[in-house]
Chains A and B, each alone.
Chain A
Amino acid sequence: MERLRDSIYKWLGERIPLKELIDFISKKGVPIHSYSYWYFFGGICLFLYITQVITGILLLLYYKPTMESAYESVHFIVAHVPFGWLIRSIHSWSANLLIGAIFIHMFSTYFLKAYRPPRELTWLTGVLLLFIFLTFGFSGYLLPWNELAFFATKVGTEIAGALPIIGKPLKIFLRGGEEVSGATLTRFFGLHVAILPGITFIILGIHLLLIQIHGMSVPIGMKEGELKKEPFFPDFALKDFMVWLGIIIILLFLSVFFPWPLGDKADPFAPAPAGIKPEWYFTFMFLTLKLIPQKVIFIEGEVLGVLVFFFAAIFWMFVPFLDIWSAREKRSKLFTWIGIVSLVYIVSMTILTYILPGK
């Protein structure tokens, strides 16, 4: 057995830098300090993404992306395919947990100022990944072609259409026509299973590579050299694995006790049901656009809202380059407050969407 292992190792070692890789992993250390637990969220995001890929591929075996059969194929998956209900529920739940985990990972990185040099590109790719996964969520939501998804997509693409100059062509491009139709479904399917995974593969690859190059960041005020480190392998990897097992338990619990509902098939000619909302991670933007007055000075309220979010996203992406204090290993109160206000705003607006009557 040992001889076989050695010969495989030798064979592989002649073809890839296996020894260097093992050396790198065995030397890699994770700093131990009072905020170390935030490091797990990166791993949780990665695990949930892998879950998405695996369950997504399994769903692809039965899913049919046409207006006539999308709903029926998902129904078939949950009603007749062995463990189809489990795969679909895990896919939907893990998608939602993934977005939640990305937000936590991002805000923990933000407040620990882990974006400071030399990790600006890690932050930038991370924020890009958030936008990519939000697009994943938006496109995937329509795929079962149910009533809620249909109207939420209608509202969502309508909002995109509010953008000045590019709004209308963008809306038509997204919808594949004037209205949400079979063409939209096909586009969203292509985006969800081909375009986005391709882009994710590249951006995520760069993100992970940068993490390996720079290692884990330590909070401002702590000196990396003075901190105790635990080996990444096997210690931190084992801990990561334990957290992943916990995530599996949560996913199974949610899927068994709260299977993701399928709802009613979308009927483009039916009136929109009351209380249509997008997925929870878009609700803070959705509610803002609803609460904004119809006209602010001379700009349309909706256009202004979309523009504010657009520039906020640009600002957020370039935070590492704007927060010049963190580059000097100093905590910036301004940026901490920007983070707190953003977080409180997102959380409170999300909660308000579900408790405000008629919103």
Chain B
Amino acid sequence: MKRIIIYSLFFFASQFSFAKKDSCFECHNDLEDKLKKPVEMMKTDIHYQFGISCSDCHGGDPLIFDERAMDKKYGFIGVPDKKGIVQLCSRCHSNPEYIRKFNPGIRVDQLELYKTSKHGILLEKGDRKVAVCSDCHSSHGILPSIDSRSTIFPQRVPETCGKCHKDKEYMKEYGIPTDQLEGFSASVHGEALRKGELSAPACNDCHGNHGSVPPGIENIAYVCRQCHSSPAELFLKSPHKPAFDEMEISECEACHGNHRIEKPSDEMLNPQKGICLSCHERNSKGFSISEKMYSEINNLKSRIKEAELILNKVYKMGVEVSEAFLILQDAKSSLTNSRNLVHSLDIKRIEEVINEGLKNAEKAYKEGKKGEREAITRRKGFAFSLIFFVLLILSLFFRLRLRRREEI
């Protein structure tokens, strides 16, 4: 909110800057195609709204209204090369005193982080294909990250990174896969992001923003733990942790994958086709634990479903079963808890939680059955009273008719 207010204030303040005469704008506005485009894009650019204009990056004298404005003696640099872009942006963005005038909350360590990233390292080595500031943030028409049109708005980040990373030809010489965007789009994170869940991770949430490096075996789990702290904690205490370390297997990724992370399901434990089979042989201790976890979780799941079915039926029949629904909710919590506890491999603890869940599911089911009996009794009661009242009405009707006849 604070950022929005600051941006809005500067936007209105910057309207005065439009009034200033600027030869870059005036001349390029009369040109065509790519020479005119920056002028149009700049109108929405966050920098322009803060009063920063073309000459602040490209040099030159915006007060001279002919070609002399682009004379090198006025510091005109034209289109900077890739390395030049980084230096150009960092001139302001690494200067806390300067940047704080516009936004006191903005970070100034982008350049330092960038230098540590794979992009930054390769750029330093002379690779001019790697991403620099303008590749992700765009060059003209840069928008704040909270603007949904921005190339770095959470929902648009995958597309921005994918611009290079999904291009097989472009990425050929780096020898890394190019299916990340496709995988991410199909993942649970990608789906959540598409649906508008902006807290769902996009590429930068795991890989970092400016200091982007491919995560190593150790740090991918650190990344996942940022959000999934509970399963991570359980995993760290589980027998899998030392085994994975010894085998140099990445932690979360080994079972859940990396970019194409599917919504976890109980089928991951399925002894016929589950993920455990990729490491554990059949009849091994580890395999039998997975088998047990799978069957117990499924058992609880089916009991919950059974109870839910009857409770919904009874609810529709008009019997008050909200308390039973609360009990069922406890059973569901046990199911969620047991699924999480799978990361601990502690079968005793899992069984304890599942038994608690089964007890509640059973209780809810019994309440449902009780409610069903109650609903049937009510209907029977209505049928009996209907017969009684109809007979009473008929007897009154005949009594009245008889009286009439007697009168006649």
Pick from B21-29, B78-86, B244-252, B316-324 the stretch touching chain A.
B316-324
Does B378 sit at the interface, judged by CB under 8 A? yes
A248 to B390, CA, bound (A): 11
Complex interface: chain A residues within 8 A of B390 (CB):
249
Q: Are B389 and A256 in contact (CB under 8 A)?
A: no
Smallest CB separation, A33 vs chain B (Å):
18
Complex interface: chain B residues within 8 A of A249 (CB):
385-386, 389-390
Contact of B400 among A78, A235, A252 (CB under 8 A): A235
A86 to B382, CA, bound (A): 11
Does B18 sit at the interface, judged by CB under 8 A? no
Contact of B318 among A75, A248, A252, A257 (CB under 8 A): A257
Q: Are B400 and A256 in contact (CB under 8 A)?
A: no
Q: Are A252 and B399 in contact (CB under 8 A)?
A: no
Q: Are B318 and A238 in contact (CB under 8 A)?
A: no
A230 to B373, CA, bound (A): 48
Q: Indicate whether A248 sits within 8 Å of B389 (C-beta atoms), given known contacts A238-B396, A256-B378.
A: yes
Q: Are B396 and A242 in contact (CB under 8 A)?
A: yes
Does B393 sit at the interface, judged by CB under 8 A? yes
Does A241 sit at the interface, judged by CB under 8 A? yes
Complex interface: chain A residues within 8 A of B379 (CB):
256-257
**Interface size classification for chain B:** 20 to 34
Q: Are B320 and A256 in contact (CB under 8 A)?
A: no
Q: Indicate whether A252 sits within 8 Å of B320 (C-beta atoms), given known contacts A238-B399, A241-B396.
A: no
Nearest A-chain residue to B382, judged by Cβ: A256
Nearest A-chain residue to B318, judged by Cβ: A259
Does B98 sit at the interface, judged by CB under 8 A? no
Q: Are B385 and A79 in contact (CB under 8 A)?
A: no
Does A85 sit at the interface, judged by CB under 8 A? yes
Does B121 sit at the interface, judged by CB under 8 A? no
Does B392 sit at the interface, judged by CB under 8 A? yes
Nearest A-chain residue to B385, judged by Cβ: A252
Nearest B-chain residue to A76, judged by Cβ: B320
A256 to B318, CA, bound (A): 7
A242 to B394, CA, bound (A): 9
Q: Are B320 and A253 in contact (CB under 8 A)?
A: no
Q: Indicate whether A252 sits within 8 Å of B393 (C-beta atoms), given known contacts A235-B400, A258-B318.
A: no
Bitwise, B363-398 to A at CB < 8 A (1) or not (0) is 000000000000000110110011001101100110
Complex interface: chain A residues within 8 A of B378 (CB):
86, 256
Does B34 sit at the interface, judged by CB under 8 A? no
Complex interface: chain B residues within 8 A of A258 (CB):
318
Does B403 sit at the interface, judged by CB under 8 A? yes
Q: Indicate whether A75 sits within 8 Å of B382 (C-beta atoms), given known contacts A238-B399, A242-B396, A245-B392.
A: no
Contact of B403 among A235, A256, A259 (CB under 8 A): A235
Complex interface: chain B residues within 8 A of A245 (CB):
389, 392-393, 396
Smallest CB separation, A85 vs chain B (Å):
6
Smallest CB separation, A79 vs chain B (Å):
4
Smallest CB separation, A129 vs chain B (Å):
28
A79 to B318, CA, bound (A): 11
Contact of B320 among A75, A234, A241, A248 (CB under 8 A): A75
Nearest A-chain residue to B374, judged by Cβ: A85
Q: Are A238 and B322 in contact (CB under 8 A)?
A: no
Q: Are A79 and B323 in contact (CB under 8 A)?
A: yes
Complex interface: chain A residues within 8 A of B396 (CB):
238, 241-242, 245
Bitwise, B185-229 to A at CB < 8 A (1) or not (0) is 000000000000000000000000000000000000000000000
Contact of B393 among A234, A246, A253, A256 (CB under 8 A): A246
Does A287 sit at the interface, judged by CB under 8 A? no
Complex interface: chain B residues within 8 A of A262 (CB):
320
Complex interface: chain B residues within 8 A of A78 (CB):
320
Bitwise, A234-276 to B at CB < 8 A (1) or not (0) is 1100110110011011001100111100100000000000000
A85 to B320, CA, bound (A): 8
A48 to B323, CA, bound (A): 32
Smallest CB separation, B372 vs chain A (Å):
14
Smallest CB separation, A187 vs chain B (Å):
28
A256 to B317, CA, bound (A): 8
A148 to B72, CA, bound (A): 72
Complex interface: chain B residues within 8 A of A253 (CB):
382, 386
Nearest A-chain residue to B380, judged by Cβ: A256
Q: Are B392 and A252 in contact (CB under 8 A)?
A: no
Smallest CB separation, A202 vs chain B (Å):
33
* Interface positions of B from 283 to 332, Cβ below 8 Å from A: 318-320, 322-323
8 contacts between A and B (CB under 8 A): A75-B322, A85-B318, A85-B320, A235-B400, A238-B396, A245-B396, A257-B318, A258-B318
Give me the 8 closest cross-chain CB pairs, A-B, nearest first. A259-B318, A79-B320, A256-B382, A78-B320, A256-B378, A245-B389, A242-B393, A242-B396
Q: Known A-B contacts: A238-B396, A242-B393, A252-B382. Give 20 more (CB < 8 A).
A: A79-B322, A234-B403, A235-B400, A238-B399, A241-B396, A242-B396, A242-B397, A245-B396, A246-B393, A249-B385, A249-B389, A249-B390, A252-B386, A253-B382, A256-B378, A256-B381, A256-B382, A258-B318, A259-B318, A259-B319
